[in-house]
């Protein structure tokens, strides 16, 4: 075994010995079972201290390259043999769960995946998703925008865009933000591949395993899953008819110090509540007092039926504490996967580094489509029509639900957004209810996963009125009511074990 040391290098001598032995093993010059010189012999051969060889051999052993065997000395470990002997030997299956990182190994909630899959189930009426249906998706708008984009931008549509997004689009979003009271320059804006990516990036940026996040209870299940996958302790602040209870939030902040506060204050998912002005003021005051960043996730503020004259949290914030997430998935179409972040310049710069090592940039074509929709003035016209269509669907669903008189069932009627939040009768057996929904081919979103600790005191479901066709809403509601009838029991103690197995 030939080893040459160079004492002029910065690399320590033990590291040079280790690296050269690894190269000899991996190149096949040393095979499994070959005997290496003893520590004393190699030290004398190289003219160095025996402790240097000892350190090199110790690291090689710890990394599995060599073994020490009684009577044989130090030998090359067998797993590094380049020969393929015993080719008929049993090959065990790859132990995937053991090699996955712990957060994703433990994260077993497939509720979003299941909700997306429900749209393809034959004869199933789906109220489970968080997106608009074929009858309200703006296909004609896209048809009119596409030729204009092709003629105006040509081959640029097929090229990559800057890391933080098209400068013209970011500038247009900042201009739109100004109309809502948000003071953000182009360096404080970043385009993302949807709001979900924005939440994931911000969680990666701020959260280490064991850190605490405050969110509403209930809250958007997709955000809860991201937080938990990063190892965060997610604490739910109760929601009433006015959104997150800021008095309870204050009591929690006296006892705990979260890294982040996350909420969607505007037609919240899933309850549809809208945080009033006084609570917004108090939330910001608490954030300033305890120096905690606030993530304002805002998919629905443009989906209003009667405009609510309450400013966005980001518009009220004058100290760069609020990080704002916007998305075009709800106001245009989910398939575009285009969102944006307004935040402090230092935050946007760090997020840009993260995007650099993930997907480089958001979809180029969709960025130009949205830019053209903004610059042409077509987006506001579309939104006016879209709101009217969504409100008509909500009216039909409320009418359908009110046609049934079920003791113990109640629901809100939000002034915007996509959802109704139903509280089901306490006498209902939740397990039987979701089994009945499955049998009757109607998909709803169970309420439990929207609670960070899954400790809801009642049985809730979230139903979406924007996806199903108006002609399907009455029939879908009839199936839900039938499922309630089938699941009504006298016992209140039986609980569902796994919502993921039951939802269509």
Question: What Å distances lie between residue 478 and 156, 192, 344, 485, CA to CA?
Answer: 50, 40, 49, 11
The answer to which of 198-207, 399-408, 488-497 has the lowest mean pLDDT is: 488-497
- What is the longest distance spanned by two Cα atoms in the chain? 94
Structure tokens at 182: 């948000």
Phi, psi dihedrals of residue 2, rounded to the nearest 5°: -100, 120
Q: Which of 350, 359, 100 is nearest to 204 (CA)?
A: 350
* Whether pLDDT at 329 is above 80: yes
Average pLDDT of 211-240? Answer: 95
- Pairwise pLDDT comparison (343 vs 454), residue with the higher score: 343
Q: Which of 292, 321, 287, 288 is nearest to 211 (CA)?
A: 292
Structure tokens at 489: 């029991």
C-beta pairs of 383-389 under 8 Å, 24+ apart in sequence: 383/302, 383/331, 386/132, 386/136, 386/138, 386/303, 386/331, 387/303, 387/304, 387/305, 389/135, 389/136
Dihedral of CA 42/46/47/49: which sign?
negative
The answer to which of 13-22, 90-99, 262-271, 401-410 has the lowest mean pLDDT is: 90-99
What three-state secondary structure class fits 168? helix
Can you tell me which residue has the tokens 């931008």? Answer: 153
- Cα-Cα-Cα-Cα dihedral of 91, 97, 101, 106, to 10°? 180
- DSSP output for 74-128: EEE-GGG--S---TTS--PPP-HHHHS-HHHHH----HHHHHHHHTTSTT-EE--
Structure tokens at 214: 């405050």
Can you give the pLDDT at residue 122?
A: 78
Please, what are the domains in the chain?
Answer: 13-80 (1.10.10.10), 104-126+381-502 (3.90.1150.10), 139-379 (3.40.640.10)
Share the mean pLDDT of the chain. 89
Structure tokens at 230: 């990063």
Beta bridge partners of 324: 296, 342
At 349-370, the pLDDT tens digits run 999 999 999 888 999 999 999 9
Neighbours of 3 (CB within 10 A): 16
Half-sphere exposure of 73 (CA within 13 A, CB side): 10
Q: What is the pTM of this model?
A: 0.80
**The pairing of beta strand 125-126 with beta strand 73-76:** unpaired
Can you give the pLDDT at residue 116?
A: 56
pLDDT over 70 for what percent of the chain? 89
Q: Which of 471, 443, 495 is nearest to 113 (CA)?
A: 443
Peptide bond preceding 232 in cis form (omega within 30 of 0):
no
Structure tokens at 415: 């002034």
Phi, psi dihedrals of residue 266, rounded to the nearest 5°: -115, 100
Exposed / middle / buried, residue 190 (Cβ in 10 Å: 0-12, 13-18, 19+): buried
On whether the CB atoms of residues 303 and 331 are closer than 8 A, the answer is yes
Can you give the pLDDT at residue 492?
A: 43
Identify the band that residue 494 occupies on the pLDDT scale cut at 50, 70 and 90: very low
On whether the CB atoms of residues 265 and 216 are closer than 8 A, the answer is no
Interhelix angle 364-376/167-179, rounded to 10 degrees, is 40
Structure tokens at 292: 């905690």
* Whether pLDDT at 493 is above 50: no
Which ranges of 317-423 does DSSP label H, i.e. alpha helix? 345-356, 364-376, 378-402
At 131-141, the pLDDT tens digits run 899 999 999 99
At 44-91, the pLDDT tens digits run 999 999 999 999 999 999 888 898 877 778 999 876 444 555 556 667
Can you give the pLDDT at residue 397?
A: 97
pLDDT over 90 for what percent of the chain? 72
> What is the spatial distance between Cα 393 and Cα 333, in angstroms, rounded to a whole number?
17
On whether the CB atoms of residues 7 and 52 are closer than 8 A, the answer is no
Q: Go through the chain and tell me how many residues it has.
A: 504
């Amino acid at each position: 075994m030939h080893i040459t040391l160079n004492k002029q290098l910065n690399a320590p001598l033990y590291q040079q010995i280790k690296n050269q032995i690894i190269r000899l093993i991996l190149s096949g010059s040393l095979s499994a079972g070959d005997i290496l010189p003893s520590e004393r012999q190699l030290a004398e051969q190289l003219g160095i201290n025996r402790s240097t060889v000892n350190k090199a051999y110790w690291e090689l052993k710890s990394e599995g390259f060599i073994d020490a065997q009684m009577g044989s000395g130090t030998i090359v470990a067998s797993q590094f043999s380049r020969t393929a002997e015993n080719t008929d030997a049993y090959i065990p299956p790859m132990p995937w769960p053991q090699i996955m990182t712990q957060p994703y190994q433990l994260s077993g909630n497939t509720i979003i995946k299941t909700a997306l899959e429900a749209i393809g189930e034959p004869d199933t009426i789906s109220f489970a998703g968080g997106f608009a249906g074929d009858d309200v998706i703006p296909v004609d708008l896209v048809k009119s925008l596409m030729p204009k984009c092709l003629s105006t931008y040509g081959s640029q549509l097929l090229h990559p865009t800057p890391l933080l997004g098209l400068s013209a689009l970011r500038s247009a979003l900042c201009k739109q933000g100004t109309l809502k009271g948000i003071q953000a320059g182009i360096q404080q804006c970043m385009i993302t591949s949807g709001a979900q990516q924005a939440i994931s990036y911000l969680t990666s940026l701020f959260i280490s395993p064991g850190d605490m996040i405050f969110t509403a209870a209930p809250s958007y299940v997709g955000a809860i899953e991201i937080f938990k996958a990063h190892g965060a302790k997610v604490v739910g602040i109760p929601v009433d008819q006015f959104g997150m209870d800021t008095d309870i939030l204050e009591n929690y902040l006296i006892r705990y110090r979260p890294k982040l506060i996350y909420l969607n204050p505007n037609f919240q998912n899933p309850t549809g509540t809208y945080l009033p002005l006084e609570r917004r003021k108090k939330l910001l005051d608490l954030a300033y007092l305890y120096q905690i960043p606030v993530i304002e996730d805002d998919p629905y503020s443009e989906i209003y039926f009667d405009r609510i004259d309450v400013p966005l949290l980001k518009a009220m914030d004058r100290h760069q504490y609020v990080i704002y997430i916007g998305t075009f998935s709800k106001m245009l179409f989910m398939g575009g996967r285009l969102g944006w972040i307004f935040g402090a310049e230092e935050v946007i710069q760090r997020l840009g580094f993260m995007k650099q090592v993930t997907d480089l940039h958001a979809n180029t074509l969709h960025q130009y489509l949205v830019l053209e929709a903004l610059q042409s003035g077509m987006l506001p016209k579309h939104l006016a029509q879209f709101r009217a269509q969504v409100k008509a669907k909500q009216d039909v669903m409320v009418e359908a639900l009110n046609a049934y008189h079920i003791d113990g069932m109640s629901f809100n009627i939000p002034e915007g957004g996509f959802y109704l939040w139903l509280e089901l009768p306490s006498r209902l057996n939740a397990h039987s209810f979701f089994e009945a929904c499955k049998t009757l081919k109607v998909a709803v979103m169970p309420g439990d996963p929207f609670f960070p600790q899954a400790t809801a005191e009642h049985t809730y479901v979230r139903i979406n009125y924007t996806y199903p066709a108006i002609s399907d809403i009455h029939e879908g509601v009839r199936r839900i009511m039938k499922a309630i009838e089938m699941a009504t029991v006298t016992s209140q103690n039986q609980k569902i074990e796994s919502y993921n197995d039951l939802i269509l």
